[in-house]
Amino acid sequence: MNWRVKVERRVSYPRFFPTVVLLFSLLGGFVLIGLLFLISHVNPLFALWKIFSGSFGSLYGITETITKAIPLILIGSGLALVFRAKFWNIGAEGQLLIGAIFAGYVALNLGPKLPFYVIVPLMFVAGFIGGALWALPTVILKLRLNVNEVISTLMLNYIAAELLNFLITGPWKGKTQMGFPYTDDFPHSAVLSVVPGTRIHLVTLCLALLFAFALFIMVYYTRFGYELRVTGDNPDAARYAGIDFMKVTLIMMIISGGVAGIAGVGEVAGIHHHLSYPSSISSGYGYTAIIVAWLAKLNPLLTILSGLFFAGIVVGGDAIQVSLGLPAATVQIFNGILLFSLIMGDYFLNHRVKLVVREAP
């Protein structure tokens, strides 16, 4: 007798099954994370409690969580779109930064001359265009020269970050910032108003909710969404059906890059009020949003929930850094493990793994 592991494709499953798998993979992820806490001599249950009480347990925590959820929802819903067509845009971080740069240009140059009701929409439009422009070359490279989009989008992140570094230490360096590598502060007309006592910039929050909803409608109810889903599911069938691959990919990447750009606008105009180091503007939202989209099962509407969840982890992670003395990388490890377990979960959703006993020949 010997044991053998047999893997077969799961053809059909009950309706609730994906949710069960999702919960189990989250649970599995938390168990792994718990082991990490154990290694650092921290009670894992206590640490988890700290994280979620830090982010959802107080009014301050909740407002911070919402603030950080804004870019995650925006980017995540855009990524849900392109991931569904199996176009792996890892470049949202760079698209966000370029959006911020475009908004910064508008704010610093036109801000003093124009009233807020002109300048704010202008900043968002500029941010959208900036993010979209940063996303487009990867589509051309992929479809014309067969360059893997994972590489091209990822590399463009570094170029965007260095471009921003160059601007804030060079030509755009602020005269009023006493030598700090920031641009001058945005004029009043270019600063987004916040909910009093918090950092929640309402306009961007509304845009995030609006995009999550609009993209949800787009994916599931429009002709374009249908073409996108067919393309992602079976590119050969899409070709057979006369679907224009170039058109579909271009449109969805314009949207995905554009919403990342809008997230960048929100960060600089709503929170920082000037351009500064890439890592302080974004703190990795473009990467975290990948997990946000995945946890939402690539459903743009559900990114509202998963965005809040991960924003909570970011905020709570900051809290345990202080209270438990854990390194700053903890949150990133946390997120990475969760992404792994979610992807593993997808495997078990589509495959049945069995142990079979076989008589020795």
Partner 1 sequence: MIGITKTFGNVIANRDINLQVEAGEILGLLGENGAGKTTLMNIVYGLYRPDSGAIKINGKPVSLSSPAHAMAQGIGMVHQHFKLIQNHTVLENIALGYKDAPFLFPTRKVAHDLRRLQENYGLEINPDVYVWQLSAGEQQRVEILKALFRGADLLILDEPTSVLTPQEAQGLFRTLSRLASEGHSVIFISHKLDEVLSICNRVTVLRHGQVVGTKDTAGVDKRELARMMVGREILFDLKRKDVKKGGVVLEVQGLHVNNDRGLTSVSDVSFDIKAGEIFGIAGVSGNGQQELVEALTGLRPIDSGQILVNGRDISRASPYTINAMGVSHIPEERIKFGTAPSLAIFENAVLKQHGNRAFSGRLFLDFASIKEHAKRIVSNFKVRTPSIDVPVRTLSGGNIQKLILGREISGKPSLLIASHPTYGLDVGATQYIRSQILQLREKSVAVLLISEDLEELVELCDRIAVMFKGKIMGIVAREDLNLEHIGLMMTGSHARSACEAGK
Which residues bind to partner 1, rule: CB under 8 A? 11-12, 221-224, 226-227, 229-230, 233-234, 236-244, 361
SS3 at position 315: helix
- Cβ closer to partner 1: 254 or 275? 254
Bridge partner residues of 148 (DSSP): none
Residue 51 CB neighbours (<10 A): 25
In the complex with partner 1, the residue whose CB is nearer, 195 or 237, is 237
Strand-pair partners of 8: 352
* Helix (H), strand (E) at residue 223: helix 223-233
Nearer to partner 1, 48 or 214 (CB): 214
CA distances from 280 to 10, 275, 289, 302 (A): 45, 9, 17, 27
Quote the least distance from Cβ 289 to partner 1, whole Å: 23
Q: What stretch of H or E contains 70? A: helix 59-84
State the minimum distance, in angstroms, from the CB of residue 77 to partner 1: 18
Between 170 and 242, CB nearer to partner 1: 242
Q: Which is nearer to partner 1, 328 or 360 (CB)?
A: 360
Select 204 or 299, whichever has its Cβ closest to partner 1: 299
Provide the minimum distance between the beta carbon of 251 and partner 1 in the complex, in angstroms, as a whole number.
13
Closer residue to partner 1 (CB): 207 or 218: 218
* C-alpha 200: how far from chain center: 18
Q: At its nearest, how many Å lie between partner 1 and the CB of residue 313?
A: 30
Two tokens at 243?
Answer: 């679907």
Tell me phi and psi for residue 236, to 5 degrees.
-65, -40
Half-sphere exposure of 101 (CA within 13 A, CB side): 27
Contacts of residue 61, defined as CB under 8 A and 6 or more positions apart, other chains included, come to 53, 54, 55, 315, 316, 319
Q: In angstroms, what is the minimal distance from the CB of 78 to partner 1?
A: 19
Question: From the CB of 226, what's the least distance to partner 1, in Å?
Answer: 6
**Residue given tokens 């240009």 in the structure block:** 105
Min dist CB 82 to partner 1, Å, is 17
